[in-house]
């Protein structure tokens, strides 16, 4: 009896410590502490639901759904279990499953205006999805919107005072002026936006799915991770490391857009540098360069707000042209997510992927975009609910079979902006500091110098940006969930 009481008391202490870590945005630490509470008292729905919320904050939606489901099993009337599971389902684009959870939430809390509001938001999201599905043109009958645009026929008004492209060539002077305009929250003319995106599409289409990069001896090459619409931090990277050029080339490793509210400025800047000098800017696809993610996490809404509907379709088409991986000097494999559910994958298999589509939910392309490393050997289920987790043995085997030295990937926020794992054979790099104005993390980029290609990691802190909140253009319900942390009925208990 005393042992039981001691366990309950100790579990509560761990929960309180976990709540403090959560409120300080230390979500990984919070998960560890909630886990300790669960190990002492697993029949407490609060611990499971709180840990689910911490997983949501780290975008580990698969784990969040599992924890929320366990909370519901422990207590079928625990409202936060349904709320957490509904939020995680919504974040994964599983609108119909989310709706069931919020309908159940309303049954449990019939007089709660907050529950009613959240159900209404979810119903709106599902109705919007059904409407879009109903009016969608089948893929087989759809003509690429890029083929219907003639940017040369678009007139530029005399009063337009922003950056201008003279003729067909995107120059450094134009890109500098455009970045300065963006910095001052000015828009670029649609004619020039079309020109940049269409020219980038043409270049990307001609590339293989796996791009080989050659860095001559004595020269350097910079790899950046997720930027996620944090334009002012992108400017800071260029301030710290120099503008992209033939002598100072960059690879941005996916997730250029979504969450941050300056995603359009980020993508047009990166694309403009690609147009200016193709060998100065390499671009890889991330899991957020997809229609389903852009619909939920803000890029679609931002493009519609700042430009128009045609650009929404155009960006979706161009994202399908982005390469899936890069190899630097036949030694460093760079990919957004990670490795595979099967052994024996060769670089030639990646080159052979037909990437010109929306990412599938399984297979090599999906795993390249979604997978994560794990500390234990072997393979495990994805904490995100898509892809998988892979261990040090998987990494070493892949490198050995392909005569490579190192895997560089992105995809995960890290406190220091990077993390070295798998006995030094895998580096995660993340370039969005203080992610979503909440996480308090540093950003990082990696400079490689040939011939040894030893990774030199540079970290940096966030810089100020205009008072536009992250997720400003995201799905309204998801924005509510993301910003909810310290107060309110559905915060941690």
Active-site residues, by number, are 288
Backbone angles phi, psi at 425, to 5 degrees: -90, -5
CA atoms within 13 A on the CB side of 429: 26
137 CB burial (10 A radius; 0-12, 13-18, 19+) = exposed
Taking the C-alpha atoms of residue 116 and residue 95, their distance in angstroms, rounded to an integer, is 17
- Cα–Cα separations (whole angstroms), residue 347 to 121, 207, 284, 321, 368: 45, 15, 16, 19, 12
Torsion of CA 449, 453, 456, 458, to 10 degrees: 70
452 CB burial (10 A radius; 0-12, 13-18, 19+) = exposed
The sign one gets for the Cα dihedral 281, 286, 292, 293 is: negative
Taking the C-alpha atoms of residue 22 and residue 16, their distance in angstroms, rounded to an integer, is 10
Helix, strand, coil percentages in the chain from 3-state DSSP, rounded to 5: 50, 10, 40
Taking the C-alpha atoms of residue 35 and residue 47, their distance in angstroms, rounded to an integer, is 8
Taking the C-alpha atoms of residue 487 and residue 97, their distance in angstroms, rounded to an integer, is 26
**What tokens does 283 get?**
């671009």
Taking the C-alpha atoms of residue 394 and residue 76, their distance in angstroms, rounded to an integer, is 40
- Those residues with Cβ within 8 angstroms of residue 355's Cβ, 6 or more apart along the chain or in another chain: 209, 285, 320, 321, 322, 323, 324, 365
Q: Which of 178, 198, 235, 449 is closest to 329 using CA atoms?
A: 449
Q: Before 308, cis peptide (omega within 30)?
A: no
DSSP state of 226: B
409 CB burial (10 A radius; 0-12, 13-18, 19+) = buried
- Angle between the N-to-C axes of helices 263-276 and 172-183, in degrees from 0 to 180, rounded to the nearest 10: 170
Contact (CB, 8 A) for 145 and 310:
yes
Taking the C-alpha atoms of residue 277 and residue 206, their distance in angstroms, rounded to an integer, is 15
């Amino acid at each position: 009896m005393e042992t039981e009481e001691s366990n309950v008391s100790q579990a509560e202490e761990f929960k309180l410590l976990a709540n403090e870590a959560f409120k300080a945005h230390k979500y990984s630490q919070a998960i560890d502490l909630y886990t300790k509470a669960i190990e002492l008292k697993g029949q407490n729905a609060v611990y499971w639901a709180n840990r689910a919320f911490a997983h949501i904050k780290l975008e580990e939606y698969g784990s969040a759904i599992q924890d929320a489901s366990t909370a519901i099993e422990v207590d079928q009337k625990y409202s936060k279990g349904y709320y957490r599971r509904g939020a995680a389902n919504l974040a994964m684009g599983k609108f119909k499953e989310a709706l069931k959870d919020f309908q159940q939430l309303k049954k449990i809390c019939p007089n709660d205006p907050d529950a009613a509001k959240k159900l209404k938001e979810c119903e709106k999201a599902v109705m919007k999805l059904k409407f879009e599905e109903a009016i969608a043109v089948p893929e087989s009958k759809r003509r690429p919107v890029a083929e219907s645009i003639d940017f040369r026929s678009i007139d530029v008004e005399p009063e337009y005072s922003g950056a201008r492209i003279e003729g067909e060539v995107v120059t450094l002077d134009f890109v500098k002026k455009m970045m300065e305009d963006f910095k001052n929250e000015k828009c670029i003319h649609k004619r020039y936006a079309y020109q940049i995106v269409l020219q980038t599409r043409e270049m990307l289409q001609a590339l293989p799915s796996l791009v080989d990069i050659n860095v001559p001896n004595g020269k350097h090459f910079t790899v950046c991770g997720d930027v996620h619409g944090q334009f002012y931090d992108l400017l800071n990277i260029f301030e710290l490391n120099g503008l992209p050029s033939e002598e100072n080339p960059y690879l941005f490793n996916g997730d250029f857009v979504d969450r941050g509210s300056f995603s359009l400025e980020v993508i047009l800047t990166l694309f403009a540098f690609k147009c200016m000098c193709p060998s100065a800017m390499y671009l890889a696809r991330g899991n957020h360069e997809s229609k389903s993610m852009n619909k939920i996490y803000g890029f679609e809404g931002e493009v519609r707000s700042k430009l128009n509907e045609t650009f929404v379709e155009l960006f979706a088409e161009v994202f399908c042209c982005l390469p899936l991986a890069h190899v630097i000097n036949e030694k460093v494999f760079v990919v957004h997510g990670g490795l595979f559910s099967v052994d024996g994958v060769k670089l030639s298999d990646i080159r052979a992927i037909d990437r010109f589509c929306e990412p599938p939910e399984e297979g090599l392309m999906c795993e390249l975009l979604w997978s994560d490393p794990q500390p234990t050997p072997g393979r495990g289920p994805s904490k995100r609910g898509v892809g998988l987790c892979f261990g040090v043995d998987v990494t070493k085997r892949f490198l050995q079979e392909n005569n490579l030295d190192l895997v560089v990937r992105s995809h995960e926020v890290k406190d220091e902006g990077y993390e070295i794992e798998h006995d030094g054979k895998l580096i995660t790099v993340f370039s969005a500091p203080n992610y979503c104005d909440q996480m308090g993390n540093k950003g990082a980029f990696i400079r490689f110098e040939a011939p040894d290609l030893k990774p030199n990691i540079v970290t940096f802190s966030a810089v100020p940006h205009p008072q536009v909140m992250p997720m400003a253009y995201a799905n309204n319900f998801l924005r509510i969930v993301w910003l909810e942390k310290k107060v309110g009925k559905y915060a941690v208990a």
